[in-house]
Amino acid sequence: MRAPISDRALLILLAAVTALGPVTTNLYLPALPFVREYFGATVAEVQSTFAIALVTFSFGLLAWGPIADRCGRRNAILAGLGVHVLGAFICLVAPTLGWLIAGRAIQAFGPATGMVVARAIVVDRYPVDRMVRVLASLTMVSVLGNSLAPVLGGFLATGLGWRAVFGVLMLAATLVGLVVWRRLPETRPATARPPRLREMATVAGSLVRMPMFAGAVLQGAAIYATFLVLLSLTPYVMISALGRPPTEFGLYYLFIAAGYFLGNWSVRRLTAHHDLHWMVLVGASLTTAGALAALAFTALGFTHPLWLFVPLAVLSYGQGLALPNVTATAVSLAPQHAGVASSTVGFLQQLIGAAAVQWMGHFPTDSALPMLTFCVVVCLFALAMLYVFPRVEAGRGHH
């Protein structure tokens, strides 16, 4: 029989499970140029190792919730961590780029359990007022993992080779799995009725046909795709266009992470004084301004990384301000099916982001201009969505 776990220990454990997702993604980013050189591949081919992970992660967001409802929270997390370790091992020993792509696909499916099931455990365990604070804490841990992982990944790939990244991920997932196995209790209510797949599919289909929901998904996907394209292509740009070592990408990436962190922090401060539409408008405007500034500085020939990353910090601040509100808009349109709505939004945003990452991999990276031109166009599209679809308040009023 497992000893009872304290609230503090449970929070730390759930934070570790949640952080594995962003750490798995961002620890690998600085290794992309090394993988390209090792296999003699094109940028587009190596981008497949990143894009396929986004696709399988998106399917994981859909799958792990029902699995946790049917098989239990603890079992779902242990299964997800097992999948993660298997995928990381395949990547570690991959003899070809094809095997690496397959390993990445398997590996990314596992950590999706952290994002989905950890939230379910919090809902099971805490009352609403405490639940909001706990979820906010888990989000902060994810942001911290996002921030520090590229720095560590750069040093690992440079000092020990790109395969060391997967060795570290295997070890981390194994250690977290052992603690989960020994300490995590089952929190699923015994009387909870598992949702039927047909029921969830019907709800998701009706949401996608709702103009307000579709608009929020498209706007959120545009903002998120900008983030993913910058994340995946900037390591190449740092080396090819700016002549900088891979370790510097992780350090300069802190500008982007700090911007997003401050944007999330501002949401809490501004909610009492401004409505949701205002925050999305300001956030989308700042993302566009940041992208335009970065494009202008690059076109004028400024090559120091600060001319790129300071505007991108403004862009990411706008993303941090807009994206939570866009997501809240979509989920609020289905208050009786918030879980399905949340999974649908996450799935579609990840899928569209993966397509953008793969498509942009076909453009040259010896200049930041193609990447930044894409960002400007997509940010303008996100801004335009505010005027194509009705205001959030109007959408709620008619729902």
pLDDT at 107 over 70: yes
Mean pLDDT, residues 101-125: 85
- Select the more confidently predicted residue: 387 or 38: 38
Mean pLDDT, residues 134-140: 67
Residues 232, 211, single domain; the answer is: yes
Mean pLDDT, residues 108-124: 82
pLDDT confidence bin for 50, thresholds 50/70/90: confident
Q: Which of 194, 227, 246 is the last residue of a domain?
A: 194
Q: Rounded to an integer, what distance in angstroms lies between the CA atom of residue 108 and that of residue 163? A: 16
Both tokens of 142, joined, read 């994810």
Q: Which of 151, 167, 194 is the last residue of a domain?
A: 194
From residue 130, how far is each of 7, 62, 133, 169, 269 by CA, in Å? 11, 26, 5, 31, 19
Q: Rounded to an integer, what distance in angstroms lies between the CA atom of residue 259 and that of residue 27? A: 19
Residues 265, 346, single domain; the answer is: yes
Residues 219, 173, single domain; the answer is: no
Residues 130, 231, single domain; the answer is: no
Q: Based on the structure, what is the number of domains in the chain?
A: 2
Mean pLDDT, residues 126-147: 66
Q: Which of 194, 218, 241 is the last residue of a domain?
A: 194
Residues 233, 87, single domain; the answer is: no
Give residue 356's domain range. Answer: 195-399
pLDDT at 339 over 70: no
Q: What does the DSSP assignment read for 236-249?
A: HHHHHTT---HHHH
- Select the more confidently predicted residue: 166 or 205: 166
Mean pLDDT, residues 69-78: 85
Query: So what's the pLDDT on residue 291?
Result: 95
Spell out the residues 6+ positions from residue 6 whose beta carbon is closer than 8 angstroms to its own: none
Residue 47 CB neighbour total at 10 angstroms: 24
Mean pLDDT, residues 37-41: 92
pLDDT at 192 over 60: no
Out of 126-135, 286-295, 312-321, the most confident range is 286-295
Residues 97, 128, single domain; the answer is: yes
Q: Closest Cα to residue 114, out of 90, 151, 146, 79?
A: 79
Query: So what's the pLDDT on residue 14?
Result: 86
Residues 78, 227, single domain; the answer is: no
Residues 145, 218, single domain; the answer is: no
Residues 253, 182, single domain; the answer is: no
Out of 157-161, 174-178, 229-233, 235-239, the most confident range is 174-178
pLDDT at 172 over 70: yes
Residues 379, 265, single domain; the answer is: yes
Residues 168, 110, single domain; the answer is: yes
Give Rg (Cα) of the chain: 20
**Average pLDDT of the chain, as a whole number:** 83
